[in-house]
Amino acid sequence: MAGRMLVSGVALAGDNAEPGTGLAFGSFDTTDSDVGVTHVVLMRIKPAKMYMGSSGEKKTVTFQNGEFYSANLAPGTYAVMGFFSRDVFFALEKSLRMNTLQIEPGRVTCAGSYQSKGTNQRGRR
């Protein structure tokens, strides 16, 4: 299984580890919310990286249960900025201070566990 990404002991099909990269994983608990997580927004903040729009790392895979991972990330400091519920973006409070993580080559890093409470209203929360 060399070269395959492992999360929770399960090989992720189609995700081959690229040399010099790392992996981040985490989850959003939406049990007490009617807001579903369709895409987690993870952005590299150091060294800075330009993104088109607000979708963040395109490599981020988000599952229906709120768990997510992003494979083959370049080393650096990343922040979990928020998430999309369909086409509505929900920003996390203090995302640049409280939700940062360091990605290192060959390492798996926990991006955190977050709890979503509330309802899906128009606009940002």
What CATH code is carried by the domain that includes residue 69? 2.60.40.1120
Q: DSSP letter at 10?
A: E
- Answer yes or no: is 110 within a domain: yes
Beta-bridge mates of residue 88 = 85
Tens place of pLDDT per residue across the chain (125 aa) = 344 444 444 445 456 778 999 999 999 998 888 888 888 989 898 988 877 666 677 778 889 888 999 999 999 999 998 888 888 888 888 777 788 999 999 999 999 998 877 655 433 33
For the entire predicted model, the pTM comes to 0.76
Total number of domains in the chain: 1
What domain range is 104 assigned to? 16-114
Is residue 10 domain-resident? no
Integer CA distances (angstroms), 51 to 36, 70, 82, 87, 106, in order: 24, 16, 15, 17, 24
